[in-house]
Amino acid sequence: MKITKKQLDIFNAHLDAYRNDSFTRDLICYGDSIKTVIERGETSKELWVYMVDKEVSMTSKLMMSPKFLGFVSGKAKQDLRNGFKRILTNMEIL
């Protein structure tokens, strides 16, 4: 299944937040679920860090530096996009 427009918008929002260091949430509080936060249109640094740790190779992680290079490789983007698609589909955010 292809990534949906909504899922792609969520991924792009998180990618932009990473590049600009402008996440709306650092952590997901106990009263909120990740799904609730995402459905409200917020971006979560905690989710981004988790996805990078799980989906991106060490080489790509070393090259990812918004403060110095402002660069995210095509391979890292592809891996993250696939990871977001998988986790959002599992949460039934289509």
User: What's the pLDDT at 30?
Assistant: 66
* CA gap 14, 50 in Å, rounded: 12
pLDDT of 34-76, one tens digit each?
Answer: 888 888 899 999 899 999 999 999 888 888 876 666 678 889 9
pTM for this predicted structure: 0.87
Ordered by start, the domain boundaries in the chain are 5-89
Contact assessment for residue 23 and residue 48, using Cβ atoms and an 8 Å cutoff: yes
* Nearest C-alpha neighbor of 23 from the set 7, 5, 47: 47
Q: Which two tokens stand for residue 74?
A: 């095509």
Contact assessment for residue 7 and residue 89, using Cβ atoms and an 8 Å cutoff: yes
Neighbours of 38 (CB within 10 A): 24
User: What's the pLDDT at 68?
Assistant: 66
